[in-house]
Structure 1
Amino acid sequence: MIRSLFFCLCLLISLVGAAQAQRMPPEGSIMAEAKAATDAGNLAGAIALYEKAYAGNEPNAAEQLARIYLEGGEGLAADYDAAREWAERSVDAGETRGLLYLGKIWMEGLGVSADLDKALGYFQQADKAGDMKAARYIGLIALERGDDAAAVQWFAKAAEAGDITSQYYLGRAYQTGKGVAQNFAAAFRWYGIAASRGDLIASDGMVGLASLYEKGEGVPADQAKARALYEKAAALGNTAAKAALAK
């Protein structure tokens, strides 16, 4: 039960991360207009512009449509059938992120019956195609199946490639000693790398660092530093940090 709840939380974090990792399109392109509409919260307008960009063969339009329909947003309900259709078009256009979205759809059973084997196949394709986030999801499936050691190996691959969420997962593995020998110095290092960008996605790294200071694991116990890190992460919207402060 706990592992399943953690698995769902990982997916939620990953979706937010994918939304924030949108590539910067060329200035003056329809894709740039669509991104501006997305950033302004005008999802209906963004969809129309992304569809126009797709019709004009601008790259990454299909994957952005898949993302919007997968997540939904203010004034727009998620549409998993549309998400799957656009993800498949994204794959047809040679975009690895489409494979990632298809993997998520089958992993969580979004509009389909959940199928971890099918999801894993998409993530493995994305990994072979060079999508740096794919290894994270392969690791999550390994974690769900109880193979902590394999999960750590995949998190390490994605962490080394620069995936912030995987950097946090790797830090936590070193802190807890699940799937790898416990090493607080390595945990501190990876939490610090994960926290360095300073945004919501990076806030998990801040929470990890705070937990080390709170417990005195690998560093001298320092409740003031722990609280400061929890407060910084909470201000960014991190729910774990808010819960820690509430204690």
Structure 2
Amino acid sequence: MSVPAKSPHVPWFAATLRIAAAAIAIAAAPSLISWAHAQSADLVLCDRLAADPADPDKPADVKGVAEIEPSDVLTAIKFCKTASGSSRRALYQIGRAFAANRQMAEAVAAWRKAADKGSTSAMVELGVLYGNGAGVAKDEAQARKLFERAAAAGNPRGISNLAALGGGTSSDPVQTRSLLAKAGETNAEAQYQLGLMIADGVGGPKDDVTARALFEKAAAQNHPGALERMGAFALEGRGGEKDKTAAKAYYEKAAALGNEDAKAALKRLECPYVIKDKRGNVVTNLCF
């Protein structure tokens, strides 16, 4: 019996299917790549225009902007809105853009969504709003809760803002001091708050030298409170050299940034003689 020959059309048909499938894949690949690039491009542009330099979610290769440029606000809103569907960082950043555009209701809504997804920077921004009563009803307890959540996750601004509220300083000042020390590696406010604790001996030993070094570090970043403290330490010679000229320079920088204590200190330097009434109340300063 002869064996029927295999049809030559079978392998040809299979090969045709394979070639067709490969062609479809090749044709589809550019569109898929373009789609992926379009998605990432939105986030890249959102980062470029609206990333917060202090945001722990920010990639290391993204510089960020301290304030969104007015000319970039609408563009930032556009790209961050597209990217926010898949990125909590973009959600936080669109909140920044809305706030820069004075759309506070939209900013609050975006930051709440970002905070729900774990953005510690959004928690801090919401905490600041609740603490100041800006855009929301003032609620210090809610502000504290938000700062506590951010601080527990290691956010430097959350830690320093919590310390500024007095969070933890009464119940566990040692822990607060430890958290501030960690946050102070990169955050001027944390450096300042830690300096205050060390200068007063709260949560550990009193150390004017270390406190002065922290104030100096924060003052170099133009922190108004730290500049004022450096003025006081330089004037009194606390933790280092006594230098009235340097003290005045620090006070002037702090005063220019709106620090009221520095303004009062400058007045005392210019008019050192104080006239008081019988009850001990200051009437005026005499200048010579």
Could you state the TM-score of these two structures normalised by the residue count of structure 1?
0.67
Of 142, 145, 149, 1:125 maps to 149
Amino acid at match of 1:45: T
Residues 202-243 of structure 1: per-residue CA shift (max 9 Å, x gap): x543332221011222334210121233345566x3535862
Would the aligned equivalents of 2:123 and 2:146 in 1 still touch at CA under 8 Å?
Answer: yes
Counterparts of 1:143-154 in structure 2 under 5 Å?
150=172, 153-154=175-176
Amino acid at match of 2:259: T
* Cα distance, 1:97 vs structure 2: 1.3
Q: Name 1:65's counterpart in structure 2.
A: 94
Q: Which moved more, 1:132-141 or 1:172-181?
A: 172-181
Of 38, 44, 50, 1:29 maps to 44
CA distance 1:180–1:65, shift in 2 (3 Å)? same
Amino acid at match of 2:49: A
Unaligned runs of 5+ in 2: 1-39, 51-63, 269-288
Would the aligned equivalents of 1:211 and 1:226 in 2 still touch at CA under 8 Å?
Answer: yes
CA distance 1:218–1:32, shift in 2 (3 Å)? closer
1:216 matched to 2:246? The reply is no
CA distance 1:246–1:66, shift in 2 (3 Å)? farther
Q: Name 1:97's counterpart in structure 2.
A: 121
* Cα distance, 1:85 vs structure 2: 0.7
CA distance 1:188–1:126, shift in 2 (3 Å)? same
What CA distance in whole angstroms lies between the structure 2 residues aligned with 1:216 and 1:93? 48
CA distance 1:215–1:27, shift in 2 (3 Å)? farther
CA distance 1:126–1:26, shift in 2 (3 Å)? farther
What CA distance in whole angstroms lies between the structure 1 residues aligned with 2:42 and 2:230? 38
Of 47, 55, 58, 2:77 maps to 47
Residues 113-136 of structure 1: per-residue CA shift (max 9 Å, x gap): 333333332222222323222222
Would the aligned equivalents of 2:132 and 2:138 in 1 still touch at CA under 8 Å?
Answer: yes
Q: Name 1:226's counterpart in structure 2.
A: 247
CA distance 1:116–1:53, shift in 2 (3 Å)? same
- Count of aligned pairs: 211
Of 70, 77, 84, 2:102 maps to 77
* Cα distance, 1:62 vs structure 2: 1.3
Q: Name 2:221's counterpart in structure 1.
A: 199
Determine what percentage of the aligned residue pairs are the same residue.
22
Of 118, 140, 153, 2:164 maps to 140
What CA distance in whole angstroms lies between the structure 2 residues aligned with 1:26 and 1:206? 41
1:239 matched to 2:254? The reply is no
Amino acid at match of 1:171: G
Structure number with larger C-alpha Rg? 2
* Cα distance, 1:181 vs structure 2: 5.4
What CA distance in whole angstroms lies between the structure 1 residues aligned with 2:213 and 2:42? 37
**What SS does structure 1 have at the residue aligned with 2:156?**
coil
Would the aligned equivalents of 1:90 and 1:98 in 2 still touch at CA under 8 Å?
Answer: yes
Q: Name 1:87's counterpart in structure 2.
A: 111
What CA distance in whole angstroms lies between the structure 2 residues aligned with 1:177 and 1:90? 38
**What SS does structure 1 have at the residue aligned with 2:137?**
coil
* Cα distance, 1:177 vs structure 2: 5.0
Q: Which moved more, 1:83-92 or 1:113-122?
A: 113-122
* Cα distance, 1:65 vs structure 2: 2.5
What CA distance in whole angstroms lies between the structure 2 residues aligned with 1:39 and 1:28? 16
CA RMSD of aligned residues (A): 3.6
Q: Name 1:6's counterpart in structure 2.
A: none
Q: Name 2:180's counterpart in structure 1.
A: 158
* Cα distance, 1:168 vs structure 2: 0.7
Could you state the TM-score of these two structures normalised by the residue count of structure 2?
0.59
